[in-house]
Amino acid sequence: DAGITQSPRHKVTETGTPVTLRCHQTENHRYMYWYRQDPGHGLRLIHYSYGVKDTDKGEVSDGYSVSRSKTEDFLLTLESATSSQTSVYFCAISTSTNEQFFGPGTRLTVL
């Protein structure tokens, strides 16, 4: 258990509304990641962070932004949610040997 929590765990929102998902870790890991998981697509990287205020894009970053103002928190924001962003979102941390540990996930539904 890498002490990773995600909030909220479930959210239903409407198209066009902003949504922020939070990932919190308790073990001071430098690297944090946001993935989305959709049937048939496996895990796809949205954004990642390599330190406070240091972030970079993943393969499916369009429509998402992130922020990391503290080591322990990594926020994912959908500025204007669309139905295509209905998904399960996972946060992860990485150790220095590339092992990633995952949070429990957030199920987001955009109506």
Partner 1 sequence: AQSVTQPDIHITVSEGASLELRCNYSYGATPYLFWYVQSPGQGLQLLLKYFSGDTLVQGIKGFEAEFKRSQSSFNLRKPSVHWSDAAEYFCAVGSPSGSNYQLIWGAGTKLIIKP
Of residues 15, 12, 34, the one with CA closest to residue 23: 34
Site string (46-85) toward partner 1, x via CB under 8 A: --x-x-----x-x---------------------------
Select from 13-21, 37-45, 60-68, 72-80 the region that touches partner 1 (CB under 8 A).
37-45
> Are the C-beta atoms of residues 6 and 91 closer than 8 Å to each other?
yes
18 binds partner 1 (CB under 8 A): no
89 binds partner 1 (CB under 8 A): no
As a whole number of Å, the end-to-end CA separation of the chain is: 33
Which listed residue (34, 64, 74, 90) binds partner 1 by CB under 8 A? Answer: 90
The distance of closest approach from Cβ of residue 86 to partner 1 in the complex, given in angstroms and rounded to an integer, is 16
Which listed residue (43, 61, 86, 109) binds partner 1 by CB under 8 A? Answer: 43
3-class DSSP assignment, residue 83: helix
Q: How far apart are CA 48 and CA 28, in angstroms?
A: 15
Count of C-beta atoms within a 10 Å radius of residue 77: 15
